[in-house]
C-alpha cells in the first residue's frame, strides 16, 4: 500500500434511535491519496455524508458511535482530543457542506467570515487577513471582491454563497477538501461553474478532494477514483475509468442503467432501500439484485474481489476495453478495481449485460 | 457608513480592527471592557477600603451597593449593546431605517429613552429639600382643591372661591406629609431605572450563558441545566425575596430589608428561567445550521462558535424576552415597596403609591395627584416595553433579512 493522505479502515457509525440502532456506516474502507479526487457515490441514505462528517468528527448529534480507524497523514484522528482535532479542521482538512443557503452567518459580512476562517488557524494581522480574504474571494470567482467584501450573506445568491463557502474552506490551504454534495442545491449552470472551480483549485493547490455525490455525471467529470456505497457498505471501488467502463457490482450496473440521456427508456432500481435499523443479511443489495443467488442472502457483507482486467480473464470485463482501461491506471496495484460481490469467484459467473431488478 | 465606491478602503480598514479576536489575542473590545471593569473595581476598592464613609471625592456622590451594580450594568450594556452598534455603522443604519418605518416602535423607544434619561439624571438635577408639613396636600398646577376638607390647611397658592389653586412651586402638588410629588415621581423613575437595568443585566447574562450552553451541547448538560431551571421556576423569585427580607434582612443594622441591591440580586439570579428556555430553544436550532457547522469545520472551538455565531443570532430573542421581563421586575419591586418589603432611598414608586392612597385627611380619589402620575408612568412604561420588544424583534431578527 502506498502512502495515503487519508486512510479509512473498518469505519462503523451507529446511531441510537427510538426505532433501534441505525448502522449508518457499517465497516467501510477507502483511501484518498495526496492530490487525487475520490468520489463517494450512492443513493440517499447510503451513509456517504455521515462517513465524511465522521472524519473530522462533525456529526451534529451526540448519539452517534464511531468505531474504526481514520488515519490522516499518519495520525489516527479518532484518538485525538477535541482541541487537537480543531487544528485539523479547516487547517488541514476543509469541509464544504451541501446547502449554501444557511452556510453563512447572517450576522456578519461575507468578508468577516472568510477572515475568521483564516485567523482561526493563522496568526496574521487583520489587515493581512483581509488582503488574503479578498484574494481568496477573487480566486473563487466573486467579481469585485473588494467591494463585495462588506456585503452581507443575504445579498448573495446561492451560487455566490457556495463560492464563499469554498473560499472559507480553502482559507488555510488544506491538504484535503471534503465536499459534501456541494452542487446539489444549485441549478445546473451554477453547478457546472462550481465544479469547474473546485477542479481548478484542486489542480492549482495540489489538494486532495473527497467528493460526495449521487450524480454519476459529476463523478465521470471530476473523479480519479470512485467508491460506490449502498446502505452503509462499500459495494465497489476503483479507478473511475474502470468503474465506468466495466461496472462490476450489480448495484453499480443498476446505477449506471438509471442514468438518463442515454437514448433508452428511463430505468429505475426496483424494490425498496433497506430499513436502516434492520439491514438484510449477506449482501445488502441482494433483495433488489437481479443476479442474487442463495449465497448472497446470508452471512456478512461479501469480501472484496479484485477485478483482473489487465489479462482480460475476468468474467465481468466486457471484451476489448480491458487493455485501454489498465493503461489509464497508474500501473501499480494501489488502486485495484474491486467489488464486494460473491458472484466474482471461480464458481459463479455474472451475466455481462447491465441489468436491473424488475419487481 | 456607505460601503460603496472609492473611499471604502480607509473606512473598512478602521472597521476591521474592531472585528473578531485573533488567535489567543484579546481584541480591542475585550481590552476596553476589561479596563472599564478594572477601573470600577479600583474605585470600589477605594470606596470600601480606603475611604468607606465619605462620598467619592470628585463626584460628591456616595455610591452605594446598588449604585455599583448599576455602574457595572451600564458598562455591560455599553460593551454588548452600544459598541457593536457604533462599530458596525453600516448595519446600524439599516436597523435605524427599518425601525423608523415602525411608528409605534419609535414612540415606544422615545418614551423609554426620555424616562431613562430622567431616571439617570433626574434626582441629581434638583437639590434635596425636606418635606414641609405645612405645605401638605397642595394641588398640582391648573387644579384646585377645596380648603375646608382638611383642618388647618394652608394653601401655598391663591385661594379662589374657597378652593386652593396649584402653584409652580409644586407642579404636581404635595402628598399628606408635604413631600413634593414631582420630586418623588422623579426619584421613583430613578429607582425603576436602576432596578430595571441592574436586574436585566444579571438576568440576561445568566440566562444567555445557561440557555446557550444547554441548547448547544444538548444531552446530559441540557438535562441537568433545564431540570435546575424547572426547580427554580417552581419557587418564584418574589417568594424567595419575601422570605429573605422578612427573616434575615429586616433586623440588621443599616441594611433594613436589603433594598435595591438585595432585590436586584435575588431577581437577577432567580428569575431568568423563562428567558433561558427561549435562548436554549434558539441555540438548539442554531446548532444544526450551516454556518455553525461551517465554523466547526473551519476549526472554531465550541466556545468561539457559541460566542461568535450562536449568541449573536439569538440577540432578537434575548432582547425581546428582556423587554417582556423588565417591566414585570420593575412592577414587582414597586409591589414589594408598596408592601414595605423593599425600602429604597430615594423612594420607589411603590412607596409613592402607598403614601398616595393612605386615606389621611382626604380620601385617595380626592388627592388624585399623588398617585396618578406614577400610575400613568407605569402604564406607559409597560406598554412601551412591549411595543419596543415587538419592534426590536422585527428589526433585529436576522432571519427576516432575506426579504
* Residue B48 is assigned to a structural domain of this protein: yes
- Express each pLDDT in A244-299 by its tens digit: 888 888 888 888 887 776 666 667 787 778 887 788 888 888 888 877 788 788 77
Q: Do A146 and B4 touch (CB under 8 A)?
A: no
At residue B54, the pLDDT reads 57
- B234-273 as b/e: b if 16+ CB within 10 A: eeebbebbbebbeeebeeeeeebbbbbbbbbbbbbebbbb
Do B49 and B117 reside in the same domain of the chain? Answer: no
Q: Do B298 and A146 touch (CB under 8 A)?
A: no
Alpha carbon distance A268, A257 (integer Å): 8
Do B67 and B117 reside in the same domain of the chain? Answer: no
At residue B397, the pLDDT reads 67
Do B52 and B199 reside in the same domain of the chain? Answer: no
* Residue B256 is assigned to a structural domain of this protein: yes
Under the phi-then-psi rule, with left for phi > 0, alpha for psi from -120 to 50, and beta for the rest, what region is A39?
A: beta
Percent of chain A with pLDDT over 90: 10
Q: Do A104 and B301 touch (CB under 8 A)?
A: no
Chain A residues lying within 8 Å of B288, measured CB to CB: 60
Tell me which residues of chain A, numbers 163 to 202, contact chain B at a CB-CB cutoff of 8 Å: 165, 168-169, 171-172
DSSP-assigned letters across all residues of B310-369: IHHHTHHHHHHHHHHHHHHHHHHHHHHHHTTSS--SS--HHHHHHHHH--SSS-TTTTGG
* Residue B350 is assigned to a structural domain of this protein: yes
Q: Do A89 and B402 touch (CB under 8 A)?
A: no
- Identify the domain containing residue B307 by its residue range: 102-127+186-363+377-402
Q: Does A58 touch chain B (CB under 8 A)?
A: yes
Q: Are A334 and A294 in contact (CB under 8 A)?
A: no
Return phi, psi of residue A233, to 5°: -130, 150
Q: Does A105 touch chain B (CB under 8 A)?
A: yes
* C-alpha cell read off for A217: 455525471
- Which of A99, A123, A154 is the closest to B23 by Cβ? A123
Q: Do A130 and B16 touch (CB under 8 A)?
A: yes
If you measure CA to CA, which chain B residue comes closest to A153?
B402
* Residue B11 is assigned to a structural domain of this protein: no
The domain ranges of chain A are 6-223, 227-339
pLDDT over 70 (residue B346): yes
Chain B residues lying within 8 Å of A56, measured CB to CB: 297
Return phi, psi of residue A68, to 5°: 110, 180
The secondary structure element, H or E, covering residue B93 is: helix B89-100
Percent of chain B with pLDDT over 70: 84
Chain B residues lying within 8 Å of A83, measured CB to CB: 301
At residue B63, the pLDDT reads 65
Average pLDDT over residues B216-240: 92
CA distance readout (Å), B136 to A173, A226, B162, B176, B188: 80, 94, 17, 5, 19
- Express each pLDDT in A182-241 by its tens digit: 888 778 888 888 888 888 888 888 899 999 988 888 888 888 999 999 888 888 888 888
Tell me which residues of chain B, numbers 88 to 147, contact chain A at a CB-CB cutoff of 8 Å: 90-91
Q: Does B12 touch chain A (CB under 8 A)?
A: yes
Q: For A132-155, give the secondary structure using H, E and C.
A: HHHHHHHHCCCCCHHHHCCCCHHH
Alpha carbon distance B340, B345 (integer Å): 13
Mean pLDDT of chain B: 81
Average pLDDT over residues B337-353: 86
Q: Cell 470567482 identifies what position?
A: A141
DSSP A304: P
* Residue B150 is assigned to a structural domain of this protein: no
Chain B residues lying within 8 Å of A101, measured CB to CB: 290
Structural domain total, chain B: 2
Alpha carbon distance A234, A47 (integer Å): 10
Chain B residues lying within 8 Å of A171, measured CB to CB: 298
Quote the Cα angle for A193-A198-A203, to 5°.
125
The HSE-up count of residue B185 (CA atoms within 13 Å, CB side) is 21
Q: For A242-276, give the secondary structure using H, E and C.
A: HHHHCCCCHHHHHHHHCCCCCCCCCCCCCCCCCCC
Q: Cell 429604597 identifies what position?
A: B344
- Which of B20, B289, B302 is the closest to A115 by Cβ? B20
At residue B126, the pLDDT reads 67
Q: Do A126 and B308 touch (CB under 8 A)?
A: no
At residue B81, the pLDDT reads 85
- Express each pLDDT in B122-140 by its tens digit: 776 666 677 777 777 788 8
Q: Does A147 touch chain B (CB under 8 A)?
A: yes
Do B43 and B115 reside in the same domain of the chain? Answer: no
- Express each pLDDT in A287-298 by its tens digit: 888 777 887 887
Class of domain A6-223: alpha beta
- Residue B213: closest CA among B290, B131, B283, B124: B283
Q: Do A103 and B290 touch (CB under 8 A)?
A: yes
Percent of chain B with pLDDT over 90: 31
pLDDT over 50 (residue A114): yes
Q: Does A101 touch chain B (CB under 8 A)?
A: yes
Do B73 and B204 reside in the same domain of the chain? Answer: no
Do B115 and B46 reside in the same domain of the chain? Answer: no
- Residue B370: closest CA among B138, B70, B64, B101: B138
Secondary structure (3-state) at A69: strand
Q: Does A94 touch chain B (CB under 8 A)?
A: yes
At residue A279, the pLDDT reads 80
pLDDT band per the 50, 70, 90 thresholds, residue B321:
very high
If you measure CA to CA, which chain B residue comes closest to A59?
B293
- Which of A103, A149, A154 is the closest to B402 by Cβ? A154
* Residue B293 is assigned to a structural domain of this protein: yes
* Residue B7 is assigned to a structural domain of this protein: no
Do B200 and B347 reside in the same domain of the chain? Answer: yes
Chain A residues lying within 8 Å of B398, measured CB to CB: 106-107
DSSP A306: E
Q: Do A86 and B4 touch (CB under 8 A)?
A: no
- Which of A130, A150, A171 is the closest to B90 by Cβ? A150
Do B77 and B107 reside in the same domain of the chain? Answer: no
Chain A residues lying within 8 Å of B291, measured CB to CB: 102-106, 113
Q: Do B3 and A169 touch (CB under 8 A)?
A: no
pLDDT over 60 (residue B1): no
Do B116 and B250 reside in the same domain of the chain? Answer: yes
Tell me which residues of chain A, numbers 303 to 342, contact chain B at a CB-CB cutoff of 8 Å: none
Residues facing A32 on adjacent strands: A6
* Residue B157 is assigned to a structural domain of this protein: no
- Residue B197: closest CA among B267, B281, B106, B291: B267
CA distance readout (Å), A282 to A233, A296, A340, B337: 11, 5, 11, 76
Chain A residues lying within 8 Å of B290, measured CB to CB: 97, 99-104
Tell me which residues of chain B, numbers 151 to 190, contact chain A at a CB-CB cutoff of 8 Å: none
CA distance readout (Å), A215 to A211, A226, A242: 11, 12, 17
The alpha carbon of residue B100 is apart from the nearest alpha carbon of chain A, in Å, by: 21
pLDDT band per the 50, 70, 90 thresholds, residue B16:
very low
- Which of B20, B295, B312 is the closest to A119 by Cβ? B20
Average pLDDT over residues A333-339: 70
Do B384 and B256 reside in the same domain of the chain? Answer: yes
CA distance readout (Å), B336 to B179, B222, B241, B348: 21, 34, 9, 10
* C-alpha cell read off for B9: 478602503
Greatest mean pLDDT among A54-68, B47-61, B74-88, B198-212? B198-212
Q: Does A86 touch chain B (CB under 8 A)?
A: yes
The Cβ of residue A241 has, within 10 Å, a number of other Cβ atoms equal to: 21
Amino acid at each position: 500500500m502506498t502512502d495515503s493522505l487519508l486512510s479509512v479502515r473498518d469505519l462503523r457509525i451507529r446511531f441510537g434511535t427510538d426505532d433501534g440502532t441505525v448502522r449508518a456506516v457499517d465497516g467501510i474502507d477507502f483511501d484518498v491519496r495526496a492530490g487525487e479526487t475520490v468520489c463517494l457515490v450512492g443513493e440517499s441514505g447510503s451513509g456517504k455524508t455521515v462517513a465524511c462528517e465522521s472524519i473530522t468528527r462533525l456529526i451534529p448529534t451526540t448519539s452517534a458511535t464511531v468505531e474504526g480507524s481514520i488515519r490522516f497523514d499518519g495520525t489516527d484522528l479518532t484518538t485525538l482530543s477535541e482541541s487537537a482535532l480543531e487544528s485539523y479542521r479547516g487547517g488541514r482538512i476543509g469541509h464544504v457542506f451541501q446547502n449554501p443557503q444557511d452556510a453563512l452567518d447572517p450576522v456578519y459580512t461575507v468578508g468577516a467570515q472568510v477572515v475568521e476562517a483564516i485567523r482561526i488557524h493563522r496568526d496574521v494581522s487583520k489587515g493581512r487577513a483581509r488582503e488574503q480574504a479578498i484574494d481568496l474571494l477573487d480566486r473563487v470567482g466573486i467579481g469585485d471582491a473588494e467591494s463585495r467584501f462588506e456585503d452581507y450573506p443575504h445579498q448573495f445568491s446561492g451560487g455566490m454563497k457556495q463560492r464563499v463557502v469554498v473560499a472559507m474552506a480553502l482559507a488555510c490551504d488544506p491538504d484535503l477538501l471534503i465536499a459534501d454534495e456541494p452542487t446539489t442545491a444549485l441549478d445546473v449552470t451554477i453547478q457546472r461553474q462550481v465544479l469547474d472551480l473546485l477542479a481548478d483549485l484542486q489542480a492549482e493547490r495540489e489538494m486532495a478532494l473527497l467528493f460526495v455525490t449521487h450524480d454519476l455525471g459529476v463523478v465521470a467529470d471530476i473523479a480519479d477514483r470512485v467508491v460506490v456505497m449502498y446502505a452503509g457498505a462499500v459495494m465497489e471501488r476503483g479507478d473511475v475509468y474502470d468503474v465506468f467502463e466495466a461496472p462490476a457490482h450489480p448495484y453499480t450496473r443498476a446505477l449506471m442503467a438509471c442514468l438518463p440521456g442515454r437514448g433508452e427508456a428511463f430505468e429505475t432500481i426496483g424494490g425498496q432501500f433497506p430499513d436502516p435499523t434492520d439491514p438484510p443479511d449477506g449482501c445488502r443489495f441482494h433483495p433488489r439484485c437481479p443476479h442474487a443467488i442463495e449465497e448472497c442472502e446470508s452471512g456478512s457483507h461479501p469480501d472484496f474481489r479484485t477485478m483482473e482486467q489487465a489479462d482480460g480473464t475476468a468474467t465481468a470485463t466486457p471484451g476489448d476495453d480491458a487493455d485501454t482501461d489498465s493503461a489509464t491506471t497508474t500501473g501499480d496495484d494501489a488502486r485495484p478495481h474491486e467489488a464486494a460481490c460473491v458472484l466474482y469467484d471461480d464458481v459463479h459467473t455474472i451475466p455481462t449485460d447491465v441489468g436491473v431488478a424488475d419487481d | 457608513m456607505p460601503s460603496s465606491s472609492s473611499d471604502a478602503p480607509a473606512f473598512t480598514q478602521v472597521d476591521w480592527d474592531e472585528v473578531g479576536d485573533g488567535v489567543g489575542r484579546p481584541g480591542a473590545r475585550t481590552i476596553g471592557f476589561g479596563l472599564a471593569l478594572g477601573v470600577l473595581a479600583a474605585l470600589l476598592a477605594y470606596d470600601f477600603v480606603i475611604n468607606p464613609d465619605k462620598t467619592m471625592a470628585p463626584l460628591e456622590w456616595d455610591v452605594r451597593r446598588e449604585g455599583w451594580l448599576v455602574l457595572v450594568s451600564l458598562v455591560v450594556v455599553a460593551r454588548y449593546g452600544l459598541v457593536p452598534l457604533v462599530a458596525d455603522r453600516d448595519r446600524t443604519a439599516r436597523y435605524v431605517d427599518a425601525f423608523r418605518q415602525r411608528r409605534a416602535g419609535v414612540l415606544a423607544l422615545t418614551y423609554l429613552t426620555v424616562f431613562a434619561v430622567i431616571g439617570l439624571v433626574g434626582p441629581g438635577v434638583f437639590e434635596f429639600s425636606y418635606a414641609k408639613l405645612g405645605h401638605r396636600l397642595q394641588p398640582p398646577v391648573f387644579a384646585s382643591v377645596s380648603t375646608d376638607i382638611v383642618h388647618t390647611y394652608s394653601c401655598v397658592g391663591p385661594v379662589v372661591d374657597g378652593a386652593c389653586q396649584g402653584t409652580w412651586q409644586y407642579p404636581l402638588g404635595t402628598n399628606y406629609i408635604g413631600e413634593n410629588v414631582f420630586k418623588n415621581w422623579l426619584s421613583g423613575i430613578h429607582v425603576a431605572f436602576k432596578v430595571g437595568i441592574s436586574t436585566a443585566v444579571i438576568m440576561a447574562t445568566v440566562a444567555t450563558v445557561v440557555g446557550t450552553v444547554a441548547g448547544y451541547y444538548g444531552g446530559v448538560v441540557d438535562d441537568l441545566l433545564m431540570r435546575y431551571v424547572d426547580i427554580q421556576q417552581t419557587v418564584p423569585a418574589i417568594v424567595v425575596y419575601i422570605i429573605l427580607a422578612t427573616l434575615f434582612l429586616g433586623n440588621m443594622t443599616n441594611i433594613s430589608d436589603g433594598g435595591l441591591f438585595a432585590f436586584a440580586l435575588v431577581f437577577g439570579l432567580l428569575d431568568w428561567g423563562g428567558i433561558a428556555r427561549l435562548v436554549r430553544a434558539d441555540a438548539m436550532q442554531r446548532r444544526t445550521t450551516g454556518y455553525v457547522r461551517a465554523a466547526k469545520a473551519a476549526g472554531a472551538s465550541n466556545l468561539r462558535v457559541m460566542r461568535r455565531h450562536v449568541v449573536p443570532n439569538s440577540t432578537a430573542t434575548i432582547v425581546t424576552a428582556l423587554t417582556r421581563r423588565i417591566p414585570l421586575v420593575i412592577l414587582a419591586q414597586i409591589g414589594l415597596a408598596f408592601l414595605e418589603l423593599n425600602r429604597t432611598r430615594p423612594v420607589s414608586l411603590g412607596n409613592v403609591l402607598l403614601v398616595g392612597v393612605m386615606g389621611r385627611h382626604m380620601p385617595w380619589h380626592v388627592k388624585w395627584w399623588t398617585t396618578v402620575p406614577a400610575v400613568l408612568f407605569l402604564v406607559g412604561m409597560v406598554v412601551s416595553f412591549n411595543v419596543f420588544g415587538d419592534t426590536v424583534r422585527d428589526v433585529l431578527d436576522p432571519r427576516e433579512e432575506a426579504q
